Amino acid sequence: MSLQDARILVIGGGSGIGHAVARAAKADGATVTIASTNAERLAAAAGRLGGVATALLDITDEAAVAGYFAGSGGFDHIVSTAGDWGKARRGPFAEMNLEDAAALFGVRFWGAAKLAKHAGKVLPAGGSLTLTSGMSAFKPQKGSVMATAMAGSVEHLVYGLAVEMAPIRVNGVFPGGVATEIFQGLPEAIRTAEEARFAGQPLPRIGEPDEVAQAYLYLMTCGYVTGQVLQVDGGGMLS
């Protein structure tokens, strides 16, 4: 099954993994709309992709999400790679500002929930919603209590939504380290230290956005998959 002539919305398609998903879906024949909260980034991404529609959309704003889908027409598949790590991603839990920590859930969890609530109205039976989280859900590190909790909450959101929204299919992709623009923009010393963390895994390197994008294409095109979370981590769970 291909995405030829399928109508696809990629939220977070202005950069990183979302941009790679949009590029891969378009190459497979899909009609693609990319959405972001950043108009400048959105316009630049659309220019690079060519022939895609754009939408300014903040999935943390439920009224905006409802309004968008009220006038969007239908989609065959919706992908969300949007995320905002905020100020409380890492640090000793005993010293953490829990109000800052609560903000971690704003996009990846609550934004995904608001998206699912209204996206179900425009997706067909057999269509799909694919959410994004991260491998910290399964492999926590010291100092990452709330990031781990947030990532894990998305896993269980996927399970619940897959049952609730059937026969619409709901799945998730949980990448490990990925060389997105944010990663490439880190200071060299931090980037080198991060790369060293992946040296001991079966595939001893950080992943590329185009590699991770293939997981989303699989979940969109395989009509018998729902309620699954794909770990795309180079075997990191085994190291």
DSSP, collapsed to helix, strand or coil, labels residue 171 as strand
CA distance 238 to 138: 11
Q: Which of 61-65, 68-72, 90-94, 171-175 has the lowest mean pLDDT?
A: 90-94
Average pLDDT across the chain, whole number? 94
Provide the token pair at 227.
């309620």
The CATH number for 52's domain is: 3.40.50.720
The predicted pLDDT at position 22 comes to 98
* Chain segment 8-54, per-residue pLDDT in tens: 999 999 999 999 999 999 999 999 999 999 999 999 999 999 999 99
Supply the residues annotated as catalytic. 133
Domain assignment present for residue 104? The answer is yes
Note whether residue 237 is domain-resident: no
Instruction: Let me know if residue 239 belongs to a domain.
Output: no
Confidence class for position 95, pLDDT limits 50, 70, 90: confident
Sheet of strand 31-36: strand arrangement: 53-56, 31-36, 7-11, 77-80, 128-132, 169-175, 229-232
- Residue 1 located in a structural domain: no
DSSP alpha helix (H) spans, the chain: 16-27, 39-49, 62-72, 98-103, 105, 112-119, 145-165, 181-184, 188-197, 209-221
Q: Determine, yes or no, domain membership for 93.
A: yes
Domain extent, residue 156, equals: 7-232
Distance in angstroms between the alpha carbons of the first and the last residue of the chain: 34
* Residues written for the chain: 239
Give me the pLDDT at residue 85, please: 64
For 181-190, what is each residue's pLDDT tens digit? 887 887 888 8
Q: How far apart are CA 192 and CA 104, in angstroms?
A: 26
- What pLDDT is recorded for position 64? 98
Cβ atoms of 191 and 152 closer than 8 Å: no
In a domain, residue 131? The reply is yes
Q: Look at the chain and report how many structural domains it folds into.
A: 1
Q: Is there a domain that residue 238 lies in?
A: no
In a domain, 202, yes or no: yes
pLDDT of amino acid 174:
98
Does this model's pTM top 0.85? yes
Which among 61, 70, 45, 152 has a CA at the least distance from the CA of 109? 152
